[in-house]
Structure 1
Amino acid sequence: MPPGTPHSAPARPAARHAFPGGALFACVDRIWSWELGADGPWPPALVLPGSGDELFLHLGAPFRVGLGGEPPAPVPRCHIMSLRSVPARIDLAGSVGFVCVRFRAGGLARFHRLPPALLTDSLADAREALGPGVETLAERVAEARSFAERAGLMEAWLLDALHAGRPGRRDVEWAVRRMYYHSADVRLDDLLARLGITARHLQRLVKETLGVGPKRHIRLSRFQRLARPAALGFRGLDLDAALAGGYFDQSHFIKDFREFAGMPPGDYLRGGLDMSHFYYPSRPDNVMLGSSVIHQKGGSR
């Protein structure tokens, strides 16, 4: 498939989204779910490396995941998929679906006190980071009858658990957001001048928040912000897209893509897009429901 050619995305389960506001807005991007139902079999999911963390609560048997080149293996019913520099291949066979919290970059650190570096490139049992209460939450979420009820349970739990971890620092959160949303042209010297700190101090603060340093975070963010529109069919992976995304030239782009995706861009376009993925537009059309914003796709429950 030539770069930039529109592709037909594989069929996907019913997806629903809720966007908490208030105190959670700074650290939680969304609560979302996939419910697979009986219309499968669903294609496996290829989840490319990313710069954030997600908490998965499975509604039944968990799916199986292989990180990098590892064969898929079962994950805990409540698990965290953290900042990753390797792709994850997810076998959805036998799973009925899940509800998930997608944290903003560094947002998970507000809810636990483990060093974030222990969670990177892993599929950690959520109980180890967030305590045994998350298992009770998973049971209640699985018993709920609608996505709105599930999202409400998770939002309430998040509000109760907020600040159980490290207190947020506005300067670090600003720098992390800047590195993610402006990964194509952000300069560390500009951040240091704005924050009034040394490069070593910024390295320590960002690593304490994300588990990786600023340069690694920028590279992962730049890759993710280039790959997501391609996975959604919005644009291809051609040289113009790479240059607009902050890559110096074609070899720089291909090198990074191979490192993070485990394949060259052409192979991803030909093969990876035949799989499901967990990418969505930043803010789908939505309606208000209670304190959250709810979007439902593929029917309502």
Structure 2
Amino acid sequence: MEYVGIVPAPPLDRFIDDIYCLTGVPRHRLMNVPPMPSAHLFLHHGGPVRLWDSDRSVPPALMTDGWFMGVWTRRFLFAYPPRVRLVGVHFKPWGMSPFAGLPAAELRNRWAPLDAVWQRSADRIRNRIGDAASAAEALRVVEEELRSHLAVAPARGLDLVRHTGGWLETSHGTVAVRALADAAGVSGNHLAGLFKDHVGVTPKRMARIYRFARLIVSVDALRPVDWSGLAQTAGYFDHAHFSREFKDFTGHTPTEYLALRRRFPAERRDPQDLGPMPAD
């Protein structure tokens, strides 16, 4: 598939990593997605997209227009239609908060139709995207929509979460949560409460996801992989814990994951796109 993406101009870049457009025929229809340090907005112009939670007690969903997804702490699966035209937004973990207008915990490990979050917006936005003459124009449409929904004033605690979340991002999750709270001048419980409001998960859980993302990005499937060395660099100092978390997050052992990556190399080199794996 063809990828076209932009980093939005300020102030959106405080909350969004990129806005992108995917078009074409997918190499793989069914994808397995581990937890990654982002939340999402998807707007789809192709056939319906099916989503499954790895928690089998959660019923699957069929999405036909647009939907929001919060930060995930476990893997999920989705199935592309035969032909894809999708516009998406990679929010930073705290980035959906000033646009969605609801506690981030309500979208943790969940998806919600666009109209349930932005009332009666899906048809209008999809029509504007459909009228766009190019992918670049479609991205400008979405950027305008995001600007129109950005809260004028940040909600209580968002600036603090953005600052400490940025520290987690740059340290790849290796900074101690206690150090985050001390640097912010708040208690650990207070910081955790703010993260639940604006990210949907605690700083400790977010650190785990950043740590895992760093490890995945470090894997070069074309060369021999020193899993112990990569795990230690990423901040895993207990090999048994690393193995359990890797299997929980991907559904594979490290050896199985490496074999899969060698069969189906990732097309891009960033956490959002190195994470998803073929599941068909």
The verdict on a shared fold, with TM-score over 0.5 as the criterion, is yes
Aligned position for 1:135: 123
What stretches of structure 2 of length at least 5 have no aligned partner? 273-280
CA offsets, 1:199-230, max 9 Å, x none? 11111111111111111111112112212343
Q: 1:54 to 1:184 in 2, by over 3 A?
A: closer
Pairs within 5 Å for 1:25-104: 25-37=13-25, 42-68=28-54, 70=56, 73-104=61-92
Matched, 1:111 2:95: no
What stretches of structure 1 of length at least 5 have no aligned partner? 1-12, 284-301
- TM-score normalised by the chain length of structure 2: 0.85
Mean alpha-carbon deviation: is it higher for 125-134 or for 107-116?
A: 125-134
CA offsets, 1:171-212, max 9 Å, x none? 221111212331342012221221111111111111111111
Aligned position for 2:145: 157
Mapped contact 1:46–1:276 kept (Cα < 8 A): no
Give the deviation of 1:124 after TM superposition.
Answer: 1.4
CA RMSD of aligned residues (A): 2.7
What is the distance in 2 between the residues matched to 1:224 and 1:237?
A: 17
What is the distance in 1 between the residues matched to 2:207 and 2:22?
A: 29
- TM-score normalised by the chain length of structure 1: 0.80
Mapped contact 1:109–1:166 kept (Cα < 8 A): no
What is the distance in 2 between the residues matched to 1:258 and 1:36?
A: 31
Give the deviation of 1:30 after TM superposition.
Answer: 0.5
Amino acid in the other structure paired with 2:256:
D
Aligned position for 2:179: 190
What is the distance in 2 between the residues matched to 1:53 and 1:90?
A: 15
Matched, 1:240 2:226: no
Give the deviation of 1:165 after TM superposition.
Answer: 8.6
Secondary structure of the equivalent of 2:77? strand
What is the distance in 1 between the residues matched to 2:209 and 2:144?
A: 31
Give the deviation of 1:150 after TM superposition.
Answer: 0.3
Aligned position for 2:276: none
Secondary structure of the equivalent of 1:132? coil
Mapped contact 2:114–2:122 kept (Cα < 8 A): yes
Amino acid in the other structure paired with 2:129:
V
What is the distance in 1 between the residues matched to 2:187 and 2:34?
A: 32
Aligned position for 1:173: 162
Aligned position for 1:252: 241
**Higher RCO structure (Cα 8 Å, ≥6 apart):** 1
Mapped contact 1:63–1:95 kept (Cα < 8 A): no
Secondary structure of the equivalent of 2:36? coil
The number of residue pairs the alignment matches comes to 269
Secondary structure of the equivalent of 2:89? strand
Mapped contact 2:51–2:78 kept (Cα < 8 A): yes
